[in-house]
Amino acid sequence: MNAITKDASKPVAGAAGSRLAALNAWVAEVAALARPDAIHWCDGSDAENAALVARMQADGTLIKLDEKAHPNSWLHRSHPDDVARVEHLTFVCTRERDDAGPNNHWMAPAEAHAKIDALFDGCMRGRTMYVIPYCMGPIDSPLSRCGVEITDSPYVVANMRIMTRMGAPALARIEREGRFVKGLHSIGELDPERRFIMHFPEEATIKSYGSGYGGNALLGKKCHALRIASWQARQEGWLAEHMLILGVENPQGETHYIAAAFPSACGKTNLAMLIPPEGYRAQGWKVWTVGDDICWMRPGADGRLYAINPEAGFFGVAPGTSAKSNPNALATIQRDTLFTNVALTEDGRPWWEGLDDGRTPAFDWRGRPFDPGKGPAAHPNSRFTVSAQQCPSWSPKAEDPQGVPISAIVFGGRRPSLVPLVFEARDWTHGVLVGAAMGSETTAAATGAVGVLRRDPMAMKPFCGYNFADYFAHWLSFDKPGARLPKIFHVNWFRKGDDGGFLWPGFGENLRVLEWMIGRVEGRAGAVETPIGHLPRASDLNLDGVELSEEARARLFAFDRAGWQAEFESIGAYLDEYGPRMPQALKDEQRRIAQALGG
């Protein structure tokens, strides 16, 4: 690696008086603390990446996959105790505890810096310190924001190269703007007892120690693009959201863009890469993928919300990805992909549960000969990292500096009962309440109790960088004179029948629901007004070619007044948990609907 390691004493891209002086000073400060053997400023070049990959292959960090089946693709196995986000060790460190809110773990900034800096002290001895300038969003977009991650993990560098616009162009933008989010990361000893992810939103700073896993270590992702960005967005008048972005193009060539927020295990990536049913494809319908995870939205001059996907790649869950569930995702990851904690076949191909390719795993995610008695072959949270541009449905509009105009915002959760297939909020305030109240019901297999509702507002519970009450107020603030806000909808693909099976087929058939939403946006689709919003009748959707039982038709479009009375009582109690900061407008909306329900 010495061949591509620059002299740490040399400032980058300009003299000490330039706008990079603050960056150079910070890098020197971190180097004095962590004491690495060498410092490498990442430029994002192919040569740099090749040298990093060669080093990781040599030391076993990366395993080369079968070149013929998966060209330029690799497997990484993380430490068995380092396989997921660690939300209980993730802190938002604001001066005032109430600014972080009850939805976050809080620690005072001075205490947090002292605690984690003690871990960083000397932690990079014997290692190279990598300085990664990156841009979240198209490099020339006014909606984008830059950051710099310092890390001692070449695996992180390889992932950040795929997931962000990393290297020289980002550094040039940082020099122009003179501002960036600081991210400091070390894998440390990978000791679960010495692991923290600290966020300092008032300082635009992230510090992460003791993990090499995805969201804990790729600081551009959840840490920057959601926790820090959500704070910045409130200060600057925009929204940083845990949402996919897709475009629906009709046979006339008109495209509507939709942003959608779902909690985990509710099909975000599948929806983002949806393939229309055969009948729709024959008519000329197309679905375009702009992003599968994060959405930054800002009001445009015309009053509409415009959105970018700040990420350049997908960091997707592998298990369950198949030719049936998501053929576009499967096609995307056939080459130039970095897999983490999947299983391996005898002939060097990646494998995971649900793949259904006729092969069997030879080695599990830990590298052991596969034994079904020792658990699944691939870790349930195993991942793929791949460029978004490899997706067959990728939209060139994803690189549009101005973003795409959003026609509809969709919230959804996994609700086996009560919640219909789709409904539309009456107005923006009602829509914010719909998002604030969204969640999923647990199952006996997962928790030992059936029907326990876990609320996950806007799917942001693990990711909002400040008090949810203030976050809801920020959402409400967009409803002002001149605004042309998107319509807001709620979907539930997971309604179940008496036999426990899903009543709606899902996957590509979800386009039928999106078509109805677009019809509502354009003012031509029918609906029935109820206290909870506008519900379609079965006849309002194009259900040609879909086999739905009488039970399905009855329940998917049903309004259960008694059930919703109990639901809105629960929503009221949930809003009260946030105390006096909860916007009165949202509480009033809850009470108005509760009264309309007769509760």
Question: Is 268 one of the annotated binding-site residues?
Answer: yes
Distances (CA, A) of 515 to 181, 323, 485, 553: 39, 24, 19, 18
User: What angle separates helix 109-120 from helix 21-34, to the nearest 10 degrees?
Assistant: 60
Question: Is 85 one of the annotated binding-site residues?
Answer: yes
Catalytic residue among 123, 146, 266, 295: 266
The answer to whether 221 and 214 have CB atoms below 8 angstroms apart is yes
Question: Is 270 one of the annotated binding-site residues?
Answer: yes
Which residues are bridge partners to 63 per DSSP?
75
Question: Is 328 one of the annotated binding-site residues?
Answer: no
Dist. CA 263–CA 491, nearest whole Å: 12
Question: Is 126 one of the annotated binding-site residues?
Answer: no
Question: Is 96 one of the annotated binding-site residues?
Answer: no
Question: Is 242 one of the annotated binding-site residues?
Answer: yes
**What six digits make up the tokens of 101?**
């809110």
Question: Is 269 one of the annotated binding-site residues?
Answer: yes
Distance from the Cα of residue 367 to its chain's centroid:
28
- The answer for 246, left when phi > 0, alpha when psi is -120 to 50, beta otherwise, is beta
Closest to 1 measured CA to CA, from 45, 53, 46, 44? 53
Question: Is 104 one of the annotated binding-site residues?
Answer: no
Question: Is 54 one of the annotated binding-site residues?
Answer: no
Question: Is 266 one of the annotated binding-site residues?
Answer: yes
Question: Is 264 one of the annotated binding-site residues?
Answer: yes
Question: Is 215 one of the annotated binding-site residues?
Answer: yes
**SS3 sequence, 408-456?**
EEEEECCCCCCCCCEEECCCHHHHHHHHHHCEEECCHHHHCCCCCEEEC
Question: Is 415 one of the annotated binding-site residues?
Answer: no
Question: Is 509 one of the annotated binding-site residues?
Answer: yes
Closest to 469 measured CA to CA, from 366, 551, 585? 585
Question: Is 381 one of the annotated binding-site residues?
Answer: yes
The answer to whether 495 and 502 have CB atoms below 8 angstroms apart is yes
Closest to 469 measured CA to CA, from 103, 201, 224, 108? 103
Dist. CA 508–CA 275, nearest whole Å: 5
Q: Please, which residues have CB within 8 angstroms of residue 68's CB and are 6 or more apart in sequence?
A: none
Q: Is 266 a catalytic residue?
A: yes
Question: Is 382 one of the annotated binding-site residues?
Answer: yes
Q: Can you say which residues are annotated as belonging to the binding site for substrate? A: 85, 213-215, 264, 381-383
Q: Can you say which residues are annotated as belonging to the binding site? A: 85, 213-215, 222, 242, 264-270, 293, 381-383, 414, 507-510
Q: Can you say which residues are annotated as belonging to the binding site for Mn(2+)? A: 222, 242, 293
Q: Which residues are known catalytic residues?
A: 266
Q: Can you say which residues are annotated as belonging to the binding site for GTP? A: 265-270, 383, 414, 507-510
